[in-house]
Amino acid sequence: MTFNIALVGCGGMGRRHALGYIELRKYFDTVSLAAVCDVHRDVASTVAEIIGEATGARPDIYTDFDEMLERADLDGVAIVTSTPMHHRFAIKAMEAGLHVITEKPMGLTLKACRQMRYVASTTGVTLAIAENFRRDPMNRLTRALITSGVIGTPYFTLDMHVGSSNGAVMHSTVWRAKKNQAGGMVLDAGVHNADLLLYLMGGADSVFAETSTFESDRTLRPMSEVAPGLAKLYDHRREDGYSTGDSVEHTAVDTAFGLIRFDSGAIGQLSMTDTSHGQSLAVSTISGSDGTLYRPRSRSGESPRIVRRDGVEITGDALLELVPDFELDDSTSTLWDGARRISSYDLEFSTIDSKILAYEYLDMVRAVETGGQPEVGVREGMDALALAYALMESGLKGAPVTVNDVAEGRVSEFQDEIDIEMGNSWINCSAGGFLGIPKVFSLDIRARIFYGFDRLQVSQPRQL
Ligand SMILES: NC(=O)c1ccc[n+]([C@@H]2O[C@H](COP(=O)([O-])OP(=O)(O)OC[C@H]3O[C@@H](n4cnc5c(N)ncnc54)[C@H](O)[C@@H]3O)[C@@H](O)[C@H]2O)c1
C-alpha cells in the first residue's frame, strides 16, 4: 500500500518534515507526499521544490486547506502549522475520513485535545502526534536502562533548562511569544520535556509550580542569532506584518519552576526559563537507589552515562552489557543503516532530525495498517500537554494541581482565556453548527457539542 499524505504548514518544521520524508524515501516507499499546503504560496513552493528535486515527484501546492481536502486524493494529513491550527485541521481531516499526524503540542489547549480525542474515537481514524524526542535511539537506550533497574528504584529526576534568549523570541516566530497561541519556551519546548519525563518515569500525578513572565518586551531577532543550527531550515518562512528588529509583546509564560509527583512515588523537578542572563544550566538526570543516570541531550548522539553509588562510571558500549535484551525496532534500525544495539552515534543534526521524522510517519502508517495505536497517540499527546499546562495552572492557582484534572478540564483557569478565544471552532469548521451536527447524536449531546461541553453544567466528568 502507498499512503498518500499532505504536508500542511511549510514553515521551519514543515521543511524539516519534508527532509524527513526525503530520508524516508531512501529506505521505504510506503508513503507518498502528494500535496503541500501553506497560506503563503511561496513558502509552500519552496518546500514542494525541495521534495521534487530530491524524489523526482513534486507535490501539488495548495494555499487553502479546505480546497486541498476537496481536490487532493489523500489517505492522511501531516499538520505542521503553528499550534492554534492543529485541532481545527485535525478535526476537519478526521471528519473527512483521513488519518492524521499532528506536530506537538497535540492541540492548543486540553479542551482542543479533548475535542480531537472525541472525533478520533467517533470516526475511528488514526490520530498520531509527531513527538520526536523519545524516538531518539539514545532515549530508547536510556529507557531500557531505567526499566531494567540499572540505577535501582528511581527516586527523583532533575530536568533543568535555564538559559538566556537575550530578549529574543524563540525561533524568531511571533506566535511563540503569545500565550493564546501556546507560545513560550515552557509550553512549546516544555511539552517535549514533559513527554520524555513520562516516557522515562511513568505517569505523573500532581504538580506544584511557580511561574512568571519576567520579560514581556522582546525583539524579533534573526534565526542566525537565535538558533544558528536551525537558521537554514527557517530562512524561507515568514509571518505577515512582522520583520526582523520589531518589538514583540511576550504574553506567554517564560519561566516555570515545577515539582512533580509521579505515580510511582518518584519526585521530579522541571525548571525552564529563557531569562537567565549570564547563567546557563542544563541538567537532565535520574537518580535511584543504585546510582544516577545522566541523560544525553536529545538528538546529540551522545551516550547516556551512569555513575553507580560506589562511584563507578559506566558509559558507551559498556552500557549495552547491562541491557542484553535492548535493541532498536526494525524501522528505526533500517533508518539507522542497520544498527541494532548502539550506545552513541555520530551524525549531523539535520540527518538525525530527518531519521526521527521518517520514523514518525512509519509509525503512523503501521498503526493505520494494523488498526493498532501509534506509539504517541491521543493518550500520550494529552498526557504530555497536561503535564506542561499543569505547570501553568498550578502557577496561576498558587497550589498543587492534579495532572488528570488538567487533562480532563476540571482545572483550566489558565487555559480558559485561550479556550474562550478559540470558541467553538471545531463546530464552525464542521458541517454547519448545531443543526448540522449529525442526528445520530441525541439532542442533548448535539446541544452540548454546539455550545461547548465545558461551558455546560454537567455533573459527570467531562468527556471531551
Ligand atoms: N517536534 C519538534 O521538534 C518541533 C520543532 C519545531 C516546531 N514544532 C511544532 O511545529 C509546528 C510549526 O512550527 P514552526 O516552527 O514550523 O512554525 P512556523 O511559523 O515556521 O511555520 C508554521 C507554518 O504554518 C503556516 N500556516 C499557519 N496557518 C495556516 C493555515 N491556516 N493554513 C495553512 N498554513 C498555515 C504558516 O504560514 C507557516 O508557514 C508548531 O506546532 C511547533 O510547536 C515542533
pLDDT digits (tens, 9 = 90+) for 108-166: 999 999 999 999 999 999 999 999 999 999 999 999 999 999 999 999 999 999 999 99
Identify the band that residue 425 occupies on the pLDDT scale cut at 50, 70 and 90: low
pLDDT of residue 422: 84
Give distance in angstroms: CA of 310 to centre of ligand 1. Answer: 47
Identify the band that residue 444 occupies on the pLDDT scale cut at 50, 70 and 90: very low
Give the global pTM: 0.92
Alpha-carbon distance of 146 to 323, in angstroms, equals 10
User: What is the DSSP track for 218-255?
Assistant: EE---HHHH-GGGHHHHTT---TT--TT-EEE--S--E
The residue nearest atom 41 of ligand 1, judged by CA position, is 83
- Record the cell numbers describing residue 299, joined without a space: 538528538
| Lining residues, ligand 1, CB within 6 Å | 8-14, 37-40, 43, 65, 80-83, 85, 103-104, 130, 132, 171, 173, 188, 237
Can you tell me which residue has the cell 546529540? 300
**Which long-range contacts does 395-402 make (Cβ < 8 Å, 24+ apart)?**
395/209, 395/210, 395/211, 395/212, 395/253, 395/256, 396/211, 399/208, 400/206, 400/207, 400/208, 401/206, 401/207, 401/208, 402/205, 402/206
369-397 pLDDT tens trace:
999 999 999 999 999 999 999 999 999 99
Identify the band that residue 22 occupies on the pLDDT scale cut at 50, 70 and 90: very high
Q: State which ligand 1 atom lies nearest to the alpha carbon of 191.
A: 43
Indicate whether 450 pLDDT > 70.
Answer: no
Q: State which ligand 1 atom lies nearest to the alpha carbon of 86.
A: 41
Identify the band that residue 453 occupies on the pLDDT scale cut at 50, 70 and 90: very low
Do 392 and 401 form a contact (C-beta atoms < 8 A)? no
Give distance in angstroms: CA of 87 to centre of ligand 1. Answer: 13
Give the β-pairing of 76-79 and 99-103.
Answer: parallel
Q: Considering only CA atoms, give the Rg of the chain.
A: 22
Give distance in angstroms: CA of 318 to centre of ligand 1. Answer: 40
Q: Which of 8, 10, 13 to mutate to test ligand 1, by most ligand atoms within 8 A of the CB atom?
A: 13
Best CA proximity match to 282, nearest among 291, 293, 295: 295
57-87 pLDDT tens trace:
999 999 999 999 999 999 999 999 999 999 9
Give distance in angstroms: CA of 193 to centre of ligand 1. Answer: 19
Give distance in angstroms: CA of 8 to centre of ligand 1. Answer: 9
The residue nearest atom 33 of ligand 1, judged by CA position, is 38
Give distance in angstroms: CA of 238 to centre of ligand 1. Answer: 11
Identify the band that residue 11 occupies on the pLDDT scale cut at 50, 70 and 90: very high
Give distance in angstroms: CA of 38 to centre of ligand 1. Answer: 10
Report phi then psi at 404, rounded to 5: -65, -35
Give distance in angstroms: CA of 241 to centre of ligand 1. Answer: 17
The residue nearest atom 4 of ligand 1, judged by CA position, is 13
Torsion of the alpha carbons at 167, 171, 173 and 179, rounded to the nearest 10: -70
Q: Which of 19, 39, 82, 88 to mutate to test ligand 1, by most ligand atoms within 8 A of the CB atom?
A: 82
